[in-house]
Amino acid sequence: MRIPLIAGNWKMHKTVSEAVEFVSEFRKLYKDTDIRACICAPFVQLPALSEMLKDTDIKLGAQNLHFAEKGAFTGEISADMLREIGVDYCIIGHSERREYFAETDESVNLKLKRCFEAEITPILCVGENESERDAGKAFEKVGLQLSLDLSGIPSEDVSSMVIAYEPIWAIGTGKNATPEQAEEMCGFIRCVIEGLYDEFVADEIIIQYGGSVKPDNAEEILNMPNIDGALVGGASLEPANFMKIIDF
């Protein structure tokens, strides 16, 4: 039985006081559902949010980490630092990091391995851009990302992780993939996982859709059989909107 995960990706939004205000409000609105909720916040907000969420079912996530255990990497944050303050999840390989911060499949692979060592559940983002979709190469692109990003990672780790299918053309554009397009790719991802591992792993892994998910399109997307939740950017920044998606 896969427990769906709805994770808010706040990206570079909110100061610490704004984040605290969000969580105070969100805790009042939050109802326990069959869905797992998670907030992936900027680093500086994590200690305060961890304290506020520790007696709730709401999970806490980061948006990046460094692949080394520790060392001379000025300005970076390690997985152990995050784990110690109660971070459960970490987004890895978001398309914005791949595009603006030179994240490669190789660094994504190392970061995934570091997450498993630190017992942080990674949310691995994959997805094609608009020209790849238009050229009929979306499946090829996602298949390649999966095989490179997961290289050398054992099945017991992969079965406990999360993959987010995020078509780049749908992120922050208001133009979501249709439920059918999202389902088709999430089903394909499950098949690729079965090919790389086995049926058990493919059955266990959580596969989210992300890209312009909002309260008014969440239900039709999240009711699809191969879609186990969503990675939500813009619509996770306001407590009532985010709760509407979780309570779809």
What is the contact surface with ligand PGA in residues (CB under 6 A)? 9, 166, 171-172, 210-213, 231-235
* C-alpha to C-alpha distance for 42 and 227, rounded to whole angstroms: 26
Q: Does the annotation count 166 as an active-site position?
A: yes
| Beta carbon nearer to ligand PGA, 154 or 172 | 172
| Beta carbon nearer to ligand PGA, 78 or 95 | 95
Shortest gap between Cβ of 232 and ligand PGA (angstroms)?
A: 5
Shortest gap between Cβ of 209 and ligand PGA (angstroms)?
A: 10
193, 124 Cβ separation under 8 angstroms:
no
Token pair, residue 158, equals 């992969």
| Beta carbon nearer to ligand PGA, 61 or 211 | 211
Shortest gap between Cβ of 51 and ligand PGA (angstroms)?
A: 25
| Beta carbon nearer to ligand PGA, 162 or 202 | 162
DSSP letter at 224 equals S
Rg of the Cα trace of the chain? 17
Write the CA distances from 197 to 175, 193, 194, 226, 231, integer angstroms: 33, 6, 5, 17, 24
Shortest gap between Cβ of 163 and ligand PGA (angstroms)?
A: 13
Shortest gap between Cβ of 166 and ligand PGA (angstroms)?
A: 6
DSSP letter at 60 equals E
Name the catalytic one among 96, 128, 166, 183: 166
* C-alpha to C-alpha distance for 24 and 237, rounded to whole angstroms: 13
Close Cβ partners of 20 (under 8 Å, ≥ 6 residues apart): 48, 49, 52
Name the catalytic one among 94, 103, 132, 183: 94
In our burial notation (b when 16+ CB lie closer than 10 A, e otherwise), range 56-68 reads: eebbbbbbbbbbe
**Residue in the shown chain whose Cβ atom is closest to ligand PGA:** 233
183, 144 Cβ separation under 8 angstroms:
no
Q: Which sequence positions are flagged as catalytic?
A: 94, 166
